[in-house]
C-alpha cells in the first residue's frame, strides 16, 4: 500500500542536509574562516531549500488558489537576494527547511497509521475443506462460515468464533490487555490477535473488509480527515493572514519608496516585515498538539474520530453509561429457573428462541442449555423487539421471551410462587410464554467490570459531578449494580427504552456538554445524540462504533478518565501555543516596523518560534493514556507510534 507521501516530501531530509552543508560553506567563507566556496554554498542552499519551497508555493497558488506560508518565505528570500543580502536569504531558507523537516518527521508518521494497521493482518489462512483437509487461501477470499485452523503462533485472520480447542490468545495488539486471554469453544476471536499455545478450529464471522482491523482502519482514516475547531481556525487564519501580510509588505515597500528610501533598503525592510509577520507558528501550533494527542491516545487504547472529538471531550460536564457490557462484564450466568412445563423443555425452547441473538442474556441462556446437555428447539420466524424481547414460532405455535414489558404486552401475569420469587430478586428476569400463558422464567446475573468503579471514581475526582447509569433492566437490578459502582439512587435510570435514553441524554445536553458510553445496538441513538459518543470495546456493536466519536478499544473504564485528562491537557497546550505564537509574531512585527530589526534576527525569531510550538505540542506524545493496571505491553496501535516518539526524543 503506498504511504501517500509525495516525492518532495520523501526528499525533505536529504535536501535539508544539502542546504545545511551549503549554509555551513557560505558561513565559513563569510567569516573568512575558510575558503570553502561561499558562492557555491549559497547556490546549494537556494537550490536545495528554495526550489522545493517555490514549487510548493506555486502548486498551492495554481491548483488551490491559496497563498500559503511557502510563498511568503520564497518571496522574502528572493527579496534578500535582490538587495545584496544572499546570506540572510540563505539563512531563512535553511531554517525554514529544517523547521519543515522536523515537523514532517515528528508528525508525518500519523499519515502512515493505516499501513501499520494493515501490517497487523496476516496475508493467508488455513481453511478446512469439506473432506477435512486444509488449504492455504488468501485472507481476502475468506467468507463468513468458513472454518479455519489456527496453529500455535498464528495470527487470527478475521473475526470469528472458536469451535474446537482451548488455549490462550494474546490480544495486546487489539485491546491492550497485558495478559493472554483464555479461550474456550463459543468465545470470540478478534482479527490480528495471536494464538499462543494450541491448535484451534474457528469459524469466520466476518470478511477482511468488515473485521476488527478494518473498523480500526476506518476510524483512523476518519481521525486523519476530521479537523478540530482549533485546527479549522488556524488554517482559516493562516490563509487570510498570509494575504494580508503580502499586501502589507507591498504597501510598506511602496510607502518607503514614496518617502525617499533607496530601493534596496525599502526592499530589505519589506522582506524583514514579511518574515516577521509570517504566521507559521500560528498555523502549525494546533495540528502539532492535536496529532500528538491522537497518537498518545491510540497508544493507550483510545481511538478518536478526529480532533473535534478530542476537543469536545475536554469540555464534557456529564457522563451517562449503559449498564450491560459497558459497566458490567456482559458475561451473565443463569442463577435461577422457574418452569411450568418442565425445566428441560422450557430451557430448550428458550435456547431455540435466543439462538441467533447476540445479547449477553441470550448467550447465558444458551450456555446453560449446553451445560445441561439440551438441544435448542427449532424456532422459525424469529423477530427481535428492541428493549422488550423476541418472538417466534415452533411446532406448537407462537412463542415469546422477554422482560417485564414483553410480559405485560402479551397479557401474561407472574403470580405463581416461583414466578414471584424470580420477579422479586435483584437480578434480570427473562420470561417465556405462549400468548397470555406464562411458561416460566430465568434470572441472569451480571457483575461490574474490574475497572468500572475505579474509572468512575477518577472521573468524579477530575471534576465531573454528574454521572448517570441508564439501563433497560428492572429497577432492582439497576440499583444492585449502581450501588456497587458508587452511583446515587437519583443517578440510576432503569426500565428505559432506546428513545428514553435519547431523551435523558438530550436533557443533560441542555446543561452543558455531555458524553454517552455504550456498546450495543440499542445505544446507537443515544451515542449519536450525545456531544461525545463513546463506544466501549473494540468488540462492541458495529452500529455503536459507527455512531460513536470515540472508541475504547480495551474494556477498561479507567482509560476514559485518562482520555479526558489528556484532552484537557491538549486544550491547555493549544492555548499556550496560540498565545506564544501570536505574541512572538506581534513582537517581531513591532520590531520590524519601529526598531529596524535585522533580517537574520527576524529569521531566527520566526523559525525558532515555529520549532518551539511544535516541540511544545509534541510533549503530548510522552503522555500516553495508562490504566491503573500498569500494562506491561504497549497497548493497542503501539507499533504505529513507537518510532514517532523515539524520533521526537532524538529531536
The CA distance from 559 to 553, in Å, is 10
Contact assessment for residue 554 and residue 537, using Cβ atoms and an 8 Å cutoff: yes
Segment holding 128, helix H or strand E: strand 124-128
Contact assessment for residue 402 and residue 389, using Cβ atoms and an 8 Å cutoff: yes
What is the phi-psi region of residue 359: left when phi exceeds 0, alpha when psi lies from -120 to 50, beta otherwise? beta
Dihedral of CA atoms 286, 289, 292, 293 in degrees, nearest 10, equals: -110
Q: Is 156 helix (H, G, I), strand (E, B) or coil?
A: coil
249, three cell numbers: 509588505
Catalytic hit among 29, 322, 519, 531: 322
- DSSP 8-state assignment for residue 326: I
The answer to whether residue 396 is catalytic is no
Q: What would you measure as the largest C-alpha separation in the chain, in angstroms?
A: 108
Among residues 255, 249, 298, the alpha carbon closest in space to that of 79 is found at: 249
Residue 203, phi then psi, degrees to nearest 5: -115, 125
The CA distance from 500 to 447, in Å, is 24
The three-state (H, E, C) secondary structure of 388-408, written as one string = CEEEEEECCEEEEEECHHHHH
Residues paired with 466 in a beta bridge: 318
293: which residues sit within 8 A by CB, 6+ positions away?
A: 307, 310, 566, 567, 569, 570, 620
Contact assessment for residue 262 and residue 81, using Cβ atoms and an 8 Å cutoff: no
The CA distance from 426 to 449, in Å, is 18
Segment holding 260, helix H or strand E: none
The CA distance from 376 to 366, in Å, is 8
244, three cell numbers: 494580508
Give the active site residues: 322
Amino acid at each position: 500500500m503506498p504511504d501517500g507521501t509525495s516525492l518532495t516530501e520523501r526528499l525533505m531530509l536529504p535536501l535539508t542536509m544539502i542546504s545545511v552543508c551549503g549554509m555551513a560553506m557560505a558561513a565559513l567563507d563569510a567569516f573568512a574562516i575558510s575558503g570553502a566556496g561561499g558562492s557555491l554554498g549559497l547556490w546549494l542552499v537556494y537550490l536545495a531549500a528554495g526550489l522545493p519551497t517555490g514549487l510548493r508555493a506555486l502548486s498551492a497558488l495554481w491548483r488551490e488558489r491559496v497563498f500559503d506560508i511557502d510563498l511568503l518565505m520564497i518571496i522574502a528570500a528572493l527579496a534578500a537576494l535582490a538587495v545584496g543580502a544572499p546570506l540572510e536569504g540563505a539563512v531563512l531558507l535553511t531554517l525554514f527547511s529544517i523547521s519543515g523537516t522536523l515537523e514532517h518527521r515528528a508528525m508525518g508518521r500519523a499519515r502512515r497509521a493505516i499501513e501499520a494497521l494493515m501490517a497487523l493482518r496476516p496475508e493467508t489462512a488455513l481453511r478446512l475443506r469439506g473432506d477435512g483437509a486444509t488449504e492455504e487461501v488468501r485472507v481476502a477470499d475468506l467468507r463468513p462460515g468458513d472454518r479455519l485452523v489456527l496453529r500455535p503462533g498464528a495470527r487470527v485472520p478475521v473475526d470469528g468464533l472458536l469451535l474446537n480447542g482451548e488455549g490462550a490468545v494474546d490480544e495486546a495488539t487489539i485491546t491492550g490487555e497485558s495478559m493472554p486471554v483464555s479461550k474456550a469453544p463459543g468465545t470470540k476471536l478478534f482479527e490480528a490477535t495471536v494464538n499462543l499455545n494450541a491448535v484451534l478450529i474457528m469459524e469466520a464471522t466476518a470478511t477482511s473488509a468488515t473485521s476488527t482491523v478494518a473498523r480500526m482502519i476506518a476510524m483512523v482514516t476518519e481521525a486523519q480527515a476530521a479537523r478540530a475547531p482549533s485546527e479549522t481556525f488556524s488554517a482559516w487564519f493562516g490563509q487570510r493572514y498570509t494575504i494580508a501580510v503580502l499586501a502589507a509588505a507591498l504597501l510598506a515597500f511602496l510607502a518607503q519608496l514614496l518617502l525617499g528610501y533607496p530601493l534596496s533598503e525599502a526592499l530589505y525592510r519589506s522582506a524583514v516585515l514579511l518574515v516577521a509577520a509570517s504566521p507559521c507558528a500560528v498555523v502549525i501550533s494546533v495540528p502539532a498538539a492535536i496529532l500528538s494527542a491522537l497518537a498518545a491516545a491510540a497508544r493507550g487504547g483510545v481511538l478518536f474520530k478526529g480532533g473535534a472529538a478530542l476537543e469536545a471531550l475536554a469540555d464534557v460536564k456529564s457522563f451517562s453509561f449503559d449498564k450491560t457490557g459497558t459497566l458490567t462484564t456482559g458475561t451473565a450466568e443463569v442463577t435461577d429457573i422457574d418452569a411450568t412445563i418442565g425445566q428441560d423443555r422450557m430451557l430448550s425452547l428458550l435456547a431455540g428462541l435466543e439462538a441467533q441473538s447476540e445479547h449477553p442474556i441470550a448467550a447465558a441462556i444458551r450456555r446453560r442449555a449446553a451445560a445441561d446437555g439440551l438441544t435448542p428447539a427449532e424456532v422459525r420466524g424469529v423477530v427481535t423487539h428492541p428493549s422488550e424481547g423476541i418472538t417466534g414460532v415452533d411446532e406448537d405455535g407462537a412463542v415469546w421471551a422477554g422482560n417485564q414489558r414483553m410480559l405485560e404486552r402479551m397479557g401474561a401475569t407472574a403470580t405463581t410462587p416461583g414466578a414471584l420469587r424470580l420477579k422479586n430478586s435483584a437480578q434480570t428476569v427473562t420470561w417465556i410464554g405462549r400468548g397470555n400463558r406464562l411458561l416460566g422464567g430465568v434470572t441472569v446475573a451480571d457483575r461490574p467490570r474490574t475497572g468500572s468503579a475505579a474509572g468512575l471514581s477518577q472521573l468524579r475526582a477530575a471534576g465531573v459531578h454528574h454521572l448517570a447509569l441508564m439501563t433497560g433492566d428492572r429497577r432492582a437490578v439497576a440499583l444492585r449494580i449502581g450501588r456497587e459502582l458508587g452511583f446515587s439512587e437519583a443517578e440510576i435510570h432503569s426500565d428505559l427504552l432506546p428513545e428514553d435514553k435519547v431523551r435523558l441524554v438530550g436533557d443533560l445536553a441542555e446543561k452543558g456538554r455531555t458524553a454517552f458510553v455504550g456498546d450495543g445496538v440499542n445505544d446507537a441513538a443515544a451515542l449519536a445524540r450525545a456531544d461525545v459518543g463513546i463506544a466501549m470495546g473494540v468488540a462492541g456493536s458495529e452500529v455503536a462504533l459507527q455512531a460513536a466519536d470515540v472508541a475504547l478499544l480495551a474494556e477498561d473504564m479507567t482509560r476514559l478518565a485518562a482520555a479526558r485528562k489528556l484532552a484537557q491537557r491538549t486544550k491547555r497546550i493549544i492555548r499556550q501555543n496560540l498565545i506564544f505564537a501570536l505574541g512572538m509574531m506581534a513582537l517581531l512585527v513591532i520590531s520590524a516596523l519601529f526598531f529596524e530589526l535585522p533580517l537574520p534576527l527576524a529569521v531566527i525569531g520566526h523559525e525558532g518560534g515555529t520549532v518551539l510550538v511544535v516541540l511544545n505540542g509534541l510533549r503530548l506524545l510522552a503522555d500516553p493514556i495508562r490504566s491503573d493496571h500498569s500494562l506491561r505491553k504497549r497497548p493497542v496501535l503501539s507499533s504505529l507510534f513507537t518510532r514517532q516518539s523515539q524520533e521526537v526524543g532524538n529531536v
